[in-house]
Amino acid sequence: MANTETISRGASRRSGRDASRRSGRGSARRPGRSTRSWVPYAYLAPALVLYGLFLLVPLVRATQFSLFEWDGLGASTFVGFENYVAVFQDERLRSAFVHALVLVFFYAILPLCIGLVLAAILTRARVRGMGFFRTIIFLPQVIAMVVVAVTWRQIYAPDGPLNGLLRLVGLDNLTTAWLGDYTWTLPAVGLIGTWVSTGLVTVLLMAGMSRIPKELYEAARLDGAGPVREFFALTLPSIRGEITVALTLTIVAALKTFDLVYVTTGGGPGTSTTVPSYEVYRRAFELGEVGAAAAVGVTLTIIVFAINAVVNRIGDKS
């Protein structure tokens, strides 16, 4: 009996020592795990530093400049929010923001409507050379906007191809100086944006439609659904993510338009095509009102952020 008790005590001591070693090893690993938890942040740090240096710091500096009256060279005078008050009181600036919202229709809403129709037709139809077609329709996105503006300025010229085509088909009464007419200049510039954005929107929507399972369409047809009902009941809800992305990209492009307006019309005739980005350039570099220009830029940034926040919110809820 004594031997048995001695053996059992020894076994219990050994098991206790083994358990303490295992617990010791486990506790020794914990610091390593906590140490490794910062590794993902280390990988993100370079991108965050670049993001802060090239986006957040300039934004903070622009906000600081917007509170001063400054010509960019001499001494500055603190004026508080007077520059922001001027944004809403200046008729020219109010018109610029209205023109930007009009361009949102041409850059975002109209291309989305056209893109939905094109994508729905091309996704369901068996068309040869689909890859080549996608390349051609996406081509405006890879061409510099200055090149696009110069080309369309020649198309819209009084003796350009557009008026020449109208004369050729006997519609001489419709010819006009498209970029010099107070009524048609802004729509003419907007249609250039439509041409540029339609390819991007169409390709995005085609990518979304192509991943919808074909079995869903077959089931819809068995239930008696036609093409129109399939589109609104099945296709449209399935690509709301792609629609949100397309609207976000095109709305931002519309609100920050500068190079297109600068090359084609220079904000004219009069102020019929001036936009906020052009006003930032004009006030900062032509009039020497850096503080006022910064206030316009900050206001535009807030509007862009607010509109896209609403678009993404609606896209998430739908």
Residue 266 binned pLDDT confidence (cut-offs 50, 70, 90) = very high
Per-residue pLDDT at 91: 93
Q: Indicate the residue among 13, 46, 78 that finishes a domain.
A: 78
User: Which CATH number goes with the domain that contains 246?
Assistant: 1.10.3720.10
71 plus 88 within the same structural domain? no
> What's the whole-number mean pLDDT along residues 90-103?
94
- Look at residue 259 and tell me whether its pLDDT is greater than 70: yes
Residue 273 in contact with residue 95, Cβ under 8 Å? no
Per-residue pLDDT at 93: 93
Looking at the chain, how many residues does it have?
318
- Burial class of residue 195 (count of CB atoms within 10 Å of its CB; 0-12, 13-18, 19+): middle
Q: Indicate the residue among 57, 78, 99 that finishes a domain.
A: 78
Per-residue pLDDT at 111: 96
Residue 14 binned pLDDT confidence (cut-offs 50, 70, 90) = low
Give the mean pLDDT of the chain.
Answer: 86
- Look at residue 171 and tell me whether its pLDDT is greater than 70: yes
Per-residue pLDDT at 226: 82
30 plus 117 within the same structural domain? no
Residue 276 in contact with residue 307, Cβ under 8 Å? no
Q: Which candidate, 243, 232, 230, places its Cα nearest to that of 204?
A: 243
- Distance separating alpha carbons of residues 114 and 280, to the nearest angstrom: 32
Helical (H) or strand (E) element with 69: strand 68-69
23 plus 158 within the same structural domain? no
Q: pLDDT digits over 185-242, tens only?
A: 999 999 999 999 999 999 999 989 988 888 888 888 888 888 888 888 888 889 999 9
Per-residue pLDDT at 313: 87
108 plus 62 within the same structural domain? no
29 plus 163 within the same structural domain? no
Per-residue pLDDT at 9: 52
118 plus 248 within the same structural domain? yes
238 plus 212 within the same structural domain? yes
Domain of residue 25: give its range. Answer: 2-78
Per-residue pLDDT at 2: 44
Higher-confidence residue: 63 or 24? 63
Q: Which candidate, 23, 105, 62, places its Cα nearest to that of 302?
A: 62
146 plus 256 within the same structural domain? yes
Q: Indicate the residue among 78, 110, 129 that finishes a domain.
A: 78
> What's the whole-number mean pLDDT along residues 31-37?
60
51 plus 148 within the same structural domain? no
40 plus 150 within the same structural domain? no
163 plus 32 within the same structural domain? no
Residue 261 in contact with residue 267, Cβ under 8 Å? yes
Residue 41 binned pLDDT confidence (cut-offs 50, 70, 90) = confident
Q: pLDDT digits over 46-79, tens only?
A: 999 999 999 899 999 999 999 999 988 888 899 9
Higher-confidence residue: 169 or 133? 169
Per-residue pLDDT at 28: 47
Q: Indicate the number of domains in the chain.
A: 2
- Look at residue 31 and tell me whether its pLDDT is greater than 80: no
Per-residue pLDDT at 161: 94
What would you report as the CA-atom Rg of the chain, rounded to the nearest whole angstrom? 31
258 plus 228 within the same structural domain? yes
